[in-house]
Structure 1
Amino acid sequence: MSLLTTLPTWAIALLIFLMRIADVSFGTLRTISVVQGRIRLSVLLGFFEVLIWVVGVSQVMAGFDENPILAVAYAGGFAAGNGVGIAIEKRLALGSVVVRIISPNHGERIAETLRVQGYRLTTFMGQGRNGPVTLLFVTCRRREAPRIIRTAQGQDPALFYTIETLRERSVELLTPLPHVTGWRAYLKMK
């Protein structure tokens, strides 16, 4: 810690700010991992979260009397860390979801397109406010959901959809295999 005391106040404040962003980001990811039941990831993230937090707090407490700016850096890092943590989590898109698509017009065509792309799905016939609809339940990795929605909306812009986080499932999700094209499609025909 003697190295930190030789740094100028602004450098210590910046370091505290960055450490706080890191520890709150880890905390955000850890909380999501706990909710999703990811034990090992939660333990690992929790360890580094607290390690960074202890170092940051000790620096604030050691220099708070002389440099109140360190407390401001600590608070600012906490605030920024929440946003950074959420942005990281959205980018990683951890977990699985159920995409529910309700199509009044082209449900079977959407289902066929998604099946060709390798997705597992189940269809149901239902009755909507304005008549018959097709319901599609697609279980996928969260990062694949936007692509599924774009594909479905390309077939039926009038559809309605919801996306729900999946806590458990009976089978492991497989990444859909791309449809065979080019020379591989030619070889497959033989």
Structure 2
Amino acid sequence: MFDFLDVYPWLLPVMIFFGRIFDVSLGTLRIIFVSKGERYIAPVIGFFEVFIWVVIISQILIRANDLVAYLSYAAGYASGNYVGILLEQRIAYGIILCRIYTQKNGMELVQILNKMNFGATMTHGKGSTNEVDIIETVIDRNQMRNLEATLTGFDANIFYVIEDVRTKQNGIFAKRKNILTRWRVGK
């Protein structure tokens, strides 16, 4: 299947390097989907991850007998970790809980969040120096940039923490956009 590598042996390190990038990047995504409970997506990604790894490792065991192939394997692994992290940040898959602490009027922020179709809950608390309003909202992770811009626009000294959430149920959540919504009647 890879007889061309006998004719062009310089392609082996290139194939190893890029194969490892794909394989490790898929591994990173698989771990994310496993941690989010995506039992149908994770096995499919795992299949392709292991398939690529087996192909690469078999070519290393058959043909690789020099330091360049070994270095390209290690460099592909390191680069794959980096690319996997970039992909994970770009996809921003999952749900997060944002807990917001402000010394300004929290009801104003709740109303702003409601206009953005984010459900929000507010409680009062005592901070180390003053009274604070604590606002909690659960959003899709890919909406965090919009939320950050809104929060800093509301209060330049705002403090917030973010936690991963595995599931959500029975709340006020923004409607998900779907590719089919543009063709559905009434939308």
The answer for the alignment partner of 1:108 in structure 2 is 107
Name structure 2 gaps, 5 residues minimum: 178-187
Structure 1: 5+ residue stretches without partners:
178-190
Where do residues 123-138 of structure 1 align in structure 2 (5 Å cutoff)? 123-138=122-137
In the alignment, what sits opposite 1:182?
A: none
The aligned amino acid for 2:78 is A
Contact 2:5 2:11 in 1 (8 A): no
Q: CA RMSD in A?
A: 1.7
Aligned residue pairs, count: 176
In structure 2, the partner of 1:33 is 33
1:149, CA displacement in angstroms? 1.8
Q: Say yes or no: does 1:156 pair with 2:152.
A: no
In the TM superposition, 1:24-173 aligns within 5 A as 24-65=24-65, 67-171=66-170, 173=173
Letter in 2 for 1:139: V
Secondary structure at 2:37 match in 1: coil
Runs of 4+ in structure 1 over 3 Å off: 171-177
Between 1:143-152 and 1:132-141, the stretch displaced more is 143-152
* 1:110-139 alpha-carbon deviations (Å, 9 max, x no partner): 111111111111111111112211111010
TM-score of the two chains, using structure 2 as the length reference: 0.88
Q: TM-score normalised to the size of structure 1?
A: 0.87
Question: Take 2:109 and 2:92, find their aligned partners in 1: how far apart are those partners?
Answer: 24
Rounded Cα–Cα distance in structure 2 between residues aligned with 1:176 and 1:51: 34
C-alpha displacement of 1:176: 7.3
Structure 2 counterpart of 1:128, which letter?
G
Cα drift, residue 8 of structure 1 = 2.1
Fraction of identical pairs, as percent? 32
